[in-house]
Amino acid sequence: HGLTGELPIGIKAAGIKTVVTIHDLIFMHHPEYYNWIDTKIYAWKFYKTCKEADRIIAISECTKRDIMRFGGVSPSKIDVIYQSCSTEFKARESEKKLQKVHTDYMLPKRYIVNVGTIEERKNVLLAVKALTMLPDEISLVIVGRPTPYTDKVKAFVAEHAMEHRVKFLHGVPHEDLPAIYQMAEACVYPSRYEGFGLPIIEAIQSGLPVVACTGSCLEEAGGNETIYVKPDDAFGMAEAIKQVLVGAPGREERIAKSQQYVKRFEGNNVAQKVLDVYNKLI
């Protein structure tokens, strides 16, 4: 079982049955985010794997469609098995913990949150641009590992004198993340392309409404009550955020329906489903 989209060379010739898990094909959709030679190597491995694997596991329907489109693979050869999502974000943190995290990170009074590596593909600059069209008391907290793209985001923040409204947090321990989610008013996830989009589910479990972007699997992760905008539409992003801030009509109903939707990803018995795939081959 190749867990990362590839199989050992020569395994088919050895007569061994094979399964491969493919998480995403971002290098096909957005090669501009990769080194040229890397995209060629990844593509070669992908095409070879599609031909040699007996079964393919995709982590979302979106990834399945991509495998069919780019690899010419029959849908009958592909099994969709969603990642299992922990329910830890559903547990409400104590008031003491919330206050400690708020003080330790000097969090704003009112903020929306973004969680994920701060890289160009994840497109957090769109949320920063949208912030210029939101009330001054609303801030944006960006939680994630920095990359060179972070400098581009910070340059926009400085150019628009928004340093007091945009906070970057790097190296946040996992145990503090639920509190950061829970004290936010909403989550924004403007990624251009994902294989699944786990932070959306974490945010919904934390009791937040979510605004995300169209074009990949995010509608699959967030369901109908998440609001989706085009990944270059800053005005649309701002208008969507206004619809989910505290006090917006229908906000609580939106959250409740979203939490009902994401139950399909909780306690997902991945092991049994993978075993079922193995049994198809035995």
pLDDT tens per residue across span 174-188: 999 999 999 999 999
Q: What is the mean pLDDT of the chain?
A: 95
**Are 173 and 79 members of one domain?**
no
Euclidean distance between the first and the last CA atom of the chain, given in angstroms as a whole number: 13
The SS3 call for residue 124 is: helix
Q: Number of structural domains, the chain?
A: 2
Please classify residue 179 by burial: count the beta carbons closer than 10 Å to its beta carbon, then call 0-12 exposed, 13-18 middle and 19+ buried.
buried
**Are 92 and 208 members of one domain?**
yes
CA distance 112 to 175: 19
pLDDT above 80: residue 263 = yes
pLDDT above 90: residue 268 = no
**Are 155 and 256 members of one domain?**
yes
**Are 66 and 132 members of one domain?**
no
Range(s) of the domain holding residue 40: 19-84+267-281
**Which pLDDT tens digit goes with each residue over 184-231?**
999 999 999 998 889 999 999 999 999 999 988 899 999 999 999 999
Residue 63 pLDDT: 94
Give the rounded percent of residues in the chain with a pLDDT score beyond 90: 89
**Are 115 and 38 members of one domain?**
no
**Are 141 and 63 members of one domain?**
no
Q: Does 51 fall in a domain?
A: yes
Contacts of 191 (CB under 8 A, 6+ apart): 116, 121, 122, 123, 197, 212, 213, 216, 218, 231
CA distance 114 to 200: 9
CA distance 193 to 215: 7
Residue 266 pLDDT: 83
pLDDT above 90: residue 274 = yes
Q: Does 1 fall in a domain?
A: no
Contacts of 76 (CB under 8 A, 6+ apart): none
**Which pLDDT tens digit goes with each residue over 229-239?**
999 999 999 99
Q: Does 143 fall in a domain?
A: yes
Contacts of 199 (CB under 8 A, 6+ apart): 115, 116, 187, 189
What are residue 211's DSSP bridge partners? 188, 227
155: domain CATH number is 3.40.50.2000
**Are 104 and 244 members of one domain?**
yes
Does the pTM exceed 0.95? no
Residue 217 pLDDT: 87
**Are 76 and 127 members of one domain?**
no
Q: Does 10 fall in a domain?
A: no
Q: Does 6 fall in a domain?
A: no
Report how far apart, in Å, the C-alpha atoms of 61 and of each of 71, 81, 210 are.
15, 9, 21
When comparing pLDDT for 216 and 59, which is higher? 59
Residue 106 pLDDT: 98
Q: Predicted confidence band at 267 (pLDDT cuts at 50, 70, 90)?
A: confident
**Are 133 and 207 members of one domain?**
yes
Give the mean model confidence (pLDDT) for residues 73-91.
Answer: 91
**Are 100 and 46 members of one domain?**
no
**Are 58 and 149 members of one domain?**
no
Q: Are 187 and 254 in contact (CB under 8 A)?
A: no
Q: Does 98 fall in a domain?
A: yes
Residue 228 pLDDT: 97
Q: Does 222 fall in a domain?
A: yes
Residue 165 pLDDT: 98
Q: Does 41 fall in a domain?
A: yes
**Are 96 and 48 members of one domain?**
no
